[in-house]
Chains A and B, each alone.
Chain A
Amino acid sequence: MLRDITLGQYFPGDTLIHRLDPRTKILVVILYIIALFISTSYVTYAIMASLLIAEVTIARIKFSTLLKSVRPILFIIVLTVVLNAFYTPGEPIFSFWIFTLTREGLRTALFMAARLVLLVMSSFMLTYTTSPIMLTDGLESLLSPLKRLGAPVHELAMMMSIALRFIPTLIEETQKIMSAQKARGAEFDTGSIIDKARALLPILVPLFISSFRRADELAVAMESRCYHGGEGRTKLHELKFRGIDYAALAIMALALVSVIVLRNVGAVGIGGIDS
C-alpha cells in the first residue's frame, strides 16, 4: 500500500530526453513554466501542448502514466474551472440560480485548466526521465554560484540524495513494524480519532529510533569512506553540456519568444480583457 507512492518516480530509459543533461532539463522546465504563465491565447497554448506531446513521445513515457500524475490535483483543477467559469463577468451563455456561465468565463476556465495540467505534467516529465541522483547533481551545479555567498549547496544536495536513497528503506521498515505490532494485537483502523492517533505510537517510536540509529551508522560509514564535505570532491559522472543540450535549450527559448510574440494574437487574454 505504501509502496504505491510514486514520489519522484523515475522510469529508466535511454532516449534523447533521458540523455539530456539534468541542468538542461531543469532550465527547460523553468522556462516552460514561465512561458505557461505568460501564455494567453489559443495559439500559445497549442505551442505549449505540442512541446509537451513531443517530449513525451520522444521519451517513450506512456500518456496514461502521465495522466495519472494529474489525479492528485484533479480537485483543484475542477474547483478552478468551476470558479472561473461561473464567476467571470461577461457575455452570459447560460444561467441557473446564482450561477451564470459566461463566454469569457468558459475561456478563462479552459486556459486555467490547461495551464495547471501542463504545469504538473511538465514537472512530472522531469522526474520521470531524470534519476534522482542526476536531479540533485543538476540542482547542486545550477545553485553552485550561491556557494560564494556561503549557502550550503553541497550539503543540501547531499541531504536530498540521502533522503531519496532511504525512502524505500524506510517504507519497508514502516511496513515491517506495522506487521510486528499487528502480530501483537495492535489495531490501526478502529476506534475514535484519538484511539487511532494513539495507535500510531507503537509505529512512530520504533521508526524514529531506527532512523536515528541508521543516521548514526551511515555517518560513521561515510566518514570511514573519507567523506569530508564538498571540498575537493570529484564526480563519477561529470555533468557536461553537449550539442543536444544546446539544441533543447534553443528550442525552448524559441518557444518562449513565440509565446511572447503571439500572446495577443487571436483574442483577448486572461490578463488583459479588452472588451
Chain B
Amino acid sequence: MTDYAIKTEDLTFWYTPEEGQEPRKVLEDVNIGIEKGRFTCILGHNGSGKSTLARHFNALNLPRGGTVYAFGMDTKDEALTLDIRRALGMVFQNPDNQIVSNVVEEDVAFAPENLGIPQKEIRERVDEALRTVGMYEFRTHAPHLLSGGQKQRIAIAGVLAMRPECVVFDEATAMLDPRGRADVMDIIRRLRAGGVTVVLITHHMDEAVSADRIIVMDKGRCVLAGTPRDIFSYPEELKSLGLTVPDTVKLINGLDKSGFNIRKDAITISECAEAVAAAITDPVPVSHREPEKETPEGEPVLSVQDLTYTYSKNTPFELTAVRNISFDVRRGEVIALLGHTGSGKSTLIQHLNGLIKPSSGKILLSGEDINSSKDSLRRARSRVGLVFQYPEYQLFEETVYKDIAFGPKNQKLSDGEIDKRVRDAARFVGIGEELFEASPFELSGGQKRRIAIAGVIAMMPEVLILDEPMAGLDPAGRDEIMRNLLAYRDETGAALIIVTHSMEDAAMFATRMIVLSHGEKIMDGLPSEVFAREEELESVGLTVPAATKIARELVKRGLPLGGTYYTVDYLMRSVLRLKGGDGNAS
C-alpha cells in the first residue's frame, strides 16, 4: 500500500455564486494521491483549477463534495486545521504578499510564534530555516530592500520554520528571474533529499523535468498523471491543454517523426544528447549557421547616446544604475533586452520615453533630444510606448473600451480617431469587440494583460517597449502575446524592445540582443553572436537556450557539429544533416 501525503477522493468544489447564478465547478471529481517523500509537479494552463486544488491541501478551501486527506487527516475536521497547516506548509507566488514583518528573522519566526513554540526553540528554528535557504546573513535586514528571489527564499524559510513534512509551492517561481528560480529549484531538491514531500505548481516545463511525478489539470479535472517520461510522450495532448513539452523532448519527437531511429525516453539535456549521439553512427560534418532573422537597415528612429543615470546623487545612497550606454534602434527591429535583476534594465527603458531624465547623455527621437523641451517630451511619450511589468495592475476604468481609450484621449485626438485607435489596438491583441463594455476586472489574467498592452498600442507608438510581457502566463498565453506583438510590428513597422528573462523566448523572436550587467552594456549583437558567448552569459546570471546546450553536449560527444544553435527547429535540421542521406541506418 502506498503512503500518501495528500489524497483526494472525488473532490468537487465551487465558489459561492452570485445570487441567481448557477455555481461553476472549479474542481470536479478530482482523485489524486501525492506520495510521501516524492517531488510532484502539478501542471495546467491559467484557470485550470490547479491553485484551487492546492488550497484544499491545507484546508484553506474545504471540499463541497468528496474528501481531502492531508497525512491521513480529514481537512474538514476543524480540530485538525492547525495540525494540517503545520505539517503542510505553503509558499505562494508573490513574495511581497507573504512577508508579515519588516525584519527578516521576525518574519521567519511568525509561524513558530503562532504555534506557541518556546522562545529558545524559535531561535533555533529560525536560524536553521534561514541557513537552509542561504539567507542567514540577511536575518536582520528589512525585506523590502531585498530582491524578489531573496524575498521568496525568506518566505520559504518562514514555512520551513514550522518543520513541515510537506511543502507546496503554488507558482512560487512565476515572478522570479532565472537566478531566483534556480535558487528555489535548488532548495526543492535539497528538501526532497531530506525526505520532505514537495509539490510544485508551475508553468515551466523545465522545472517539471526533475519531478518524480506529474499531474496535469484541465477544466478542474485531473487529466493526466504519471512520470515526466510518460507525460511528455503526449506532446499533442499537452499542446491541446495549453501546455508544451521541454525543448529536449521537442527535438527528440521531431527527429523521431523524420524517421530517425531514436530512444524516446530522454528528457534532460544530457540524456537527450546521449540519445541523439547514439542514433548517429556515421556522422557527416555539418557547419551551418542558424539563419539570422532579417535585420532592418535605415536611419535610427531612437538613438541612445552615452547615457548615464545616478540615483540619489550626493547622498550616502548614491547608486549609478546605468553607465555610458549607447545604441540605436531602427524601425522593424525586435530587440531582446537581457540582464539579471538590478542590471539597470528598468532604469534604462524608463529613459527612452522620458520618464527619467538622464544624469548625462542624450536620447534622440528622429534626431531630436526628447528632453529638450516640454513639447518634445510630450511627443516622446506617445511615439515611444512603454508597457510596465504586470501592466494589468494599472487598469482602472469601468469598461475595457474606456481603459484602452485612456492613452489616445491624453493625446487629445478626435473622438473618431480615438474610436479607430481603440478598435485597432483591440484587434492587435485579439480582444473581441463584444468585450468592450465589460469591466476589465471581470476578465481572466491573460485577457487583462492583453487589454493593458492594447492601452499602450492605442497610442500607435513607433517604438514599443515591454517589460516582461509574458511573465506569469502559461505557454499558450505566452505564444499568443508574442504573436500579437510581432503582428503589430509587421503591420506598422514599429520597433519592439522586449525585456525578458527567457532565453528561449529571446531566441524565438529577437533580431538583435542587448545584454546589460551592473548598469553597463556588455553585449549587443545578433542572437548567434550573443549565444556564442555562453560562459560570459552565465557569469552575469543569464543562461543560453536549451538548444544551445544540447548542441554543446553533442559536440562534446564528438559529433562534427559546427556553428551556434539556439532554436530547436534549426538544431533538428542540422542533426538530420549530420546523419547524412541514409535515414534508415543504425
What is A's interface to B at a CB cutoff of 8 Å?
Answer: 12, 131-133, 161-162, 164-165, 168-169, 172, 176-177, 179-187, 201-202, 205-206, 209-210, 213-214, 217-218, 220-228, 232-238
Q: How far is the CB of B122 from chain A (nearest CB, A)?
A: 5
A-B contact pairs, 18 of them (CB 8 A): A131-B103, A132-B102, A168-B144, A169-B144, A180-B388, A183-B456, A184-B456, A185-B381, A214-B97, A221-B100, A221-B155, A224-B60, A224-B92, A228-B82, A232-B116, A234-B117, A236-B106, A236-B122
Chain A residue nearest to B143 in the complex (CB): A165
In the complex, chain B residues whose CB is within 8 Å of the CB of A213: 97
Chain B residue nearest to A224 in the complex (CB): B90
Q: Which of B411-469 contact A (CB under 8 A)?
A: 411, 441, 455-456, 459
In the complex, chain A residues whose CB is within 8 Å of the CB of B105: 236
The CA-CA distance from A214 to B106 in the complex, in Å, is 20
The CA-CA distance from A30 to B117 in the complex, in Å, is 33
Q: How far is the CB of B565 from chain A (nearest CB, A)?
A: 37
Given contacts A165-B102, A182-B355, A209-B441, contact A187 B410 (CB under 8 A): yes
Interface digits, B125-145 against A, CB 8 Å rule (1 contact, 0 not)?
A: 010000000000000101110
The CA-CA distance from A210 to B97 in the complex, in Å, is 11
In the complex, chain A residues whose CB is within 8 Å of the CB of B407: 184-185
In the complex, chain A residues whose CB is within 8 Å of the CB of B96: 169, 214
The CA-CA distance from A213 to B103 in the complex, in Å, is 23
Chain A residue nearest to B412 in the complex (CB): A185
The CA-CA distance from A165 to B110 in the complex, in Å, is 14
In the complex, chain B residues whose CB is within 8 Å of the CB of A233: 113-114, 116
Answer yes or no: B94 CB below 8 A from chain A CBs: yes
In the complex, chain B residues whose CB is within 8 Å of the CB of A218: 97-98, 100
Interface digits, B381-409 against A, CB 8 Å rule (1 contact, 0 not)?
A: 11001111001011110000000001100
Answer yes or no: B118 CB below 8 A from chain A CBs: yes
Q: Which of A179, A222, A226, A236 contacts B82 (CB 8 A)?
A: A226
Give how many B residues have a beta carbon under 8 Å from the other chain's beta carbons.
65
In the complex, chain A residues whose CB is within 8 Å of the CB of B117: 234
**Majority DSSP secondary structure for residues of B touching A:** helix
Further 12 A-B residue pairs, CB within 8 A, beyond A176-B388, A183-B386: A132-B102, A168-B144, A177-B393, A183-B456, A184-B459, A206-B394, A209-B441, A214-B94, A222-B100, A224-B89, A234-B113, A236-B105
Beta-carbon contact of A226 and B410 below 8 Å = no
Q: Among the interface residues A133, A168, A218, A224, which one has the most CB atoms of the partner chain B within 10 A?
A: A224
Answer yes or no: B365 CB below 8 A from chain A CBs: no
In the complex, chain A residues whose CB is within 8 Å of the CB of B345: none
Beta-carbon contact of B381 and A236 below 8 Å = no
Q: How far is the CB of B26 from chain A (nearest CB, A)?
A: 16
In the complex, chain A residues whose CB is within 8 Å of the CB of B370: none
In the complex, chain B residues whose CB is within 8 Å of the CB of A227: 110, 114
Beta-carbon contact of B119 and A184 below 8 Å = no
Beta-carbon contact of B85 and A223 below 8 Å = yes
Q: Which of B162, B350, B395, B441 contacts A179 (CB 8 A)?
A: B350
In the complex, chain B residues whose CB is within 8 Å of the CB of A186: 406, 410
Q: Which of B55, B97, B126, B406 contacts A236 (CB 8 A)?
A: B126
In the complex, chain A residues whose CB is within 8 Å of the CB of B455: 184
What is B's interface to A at a CB cutoff of 8 Å?
Answer: 55, 58, 60, 82, 85-86, 89-90, 92, 94, 96-103, 105-106, 109-119, 122-123, 126, 140, 142-144, 155, 158-159, 162, 350, 353, 355, 378, 381-382, 385-388, 391, 393-396, 406-407, 410-411, 441, 455-456, 459
The CA-CA distance from A221 to B394 in the complex, in Å, is 24
In the A-B complex, list the 3 residue pairs whose CB atoms are closest, starting with the nearest: A185-B410, A236-B109, A205-B396
**Majority DSSP secondary structure for residues of A touching B:** helix
Q: Which of B97, B159, B394 contacts A180 (CB 8 A)?
A: B394
Beta-carbon contact of A224 and B113 below 8 Å = no
Beta-carbon contact of B102 and A164 below 8 Å = yes
The CA-CA distance from A100 to B509 in the complex, in Å, is 80
Q: Which of B97, B112, B118, B387 contacts A221 (CB 8 A)?
A: B97
Q: Among the interface residues B55, B115, B117, which one has the most CB atoms of the partner chain A within 10 A?
A: B115
Beta-carbon contact of A185 and B382 below 8 Å = yes
The CA-CA distance from A222 to B158 in the complex, in Å, is 10
Q: Among the interface residues B123, B155, B355, which one has the most CB atoms of the partner chain A within 10 A?
A: B355
Beta-carbon contact of B119 and A238 below 8 Å = yes
The CA-CA distance from A214 to B109 in the complex, in Å, is 21
Beta-carbon contact of A220 and B92 below 8 Å = yes
In the complex, chain A residues whose CB is within 8 Å of the CB of B58: 224
Beta-carbon contact of B116 and A162 below 8 Å = no
Q: How far is the CB of A145 from chain B (nearest CB, A)?
A: 21
Beta-carbon contact of B98 and A221 below 8 Å = yes
In the complex, chain A residues whose CB is within 8 Å of the CB of B381: 182-183, 185
Beta-carbon contact of A206 and B395 below 8 Å = yes
In the complex, chain B residues whose CB is within 8 Å of the CB of A169: 96, 144
Given contacts A228-B82, A236-B105, contact A185 B99 (CB under 8 A): no
In the complex, chain A residues whose CB is within 8 Å of the CB of B100: 161-162, 165, 218, 221-222
Q: Which of B97, B114, B142 contacts A226 (CB 8 A)?
A: B114
Given contacts A162-B100, A214-B96, A223-B60, contact A183 B111 (CB under 8 A): no
The CA-CA distance from A226 to B396 in the complex, in Å, is 35
Chain B residue nearest to A205 in the complex (CB): B396
In the complex, chain A residues whose CB is within 8 Å of the CB of B386: 180, 183
Q: How far is the CB of A239 from chain B (nearest CB, A)?
A: 11
The CA-CA distance from A234 to B113 in the complex, in Å, is 5
Q: Which of A132, A184, A217 contacts B97 (CB 8 A)?
A: A217
Chain B residue nearest to A229 in the complex (CB): B114
In the complex, chain A residues whose CB is within 8 Å of the CB of B112: 234, 236
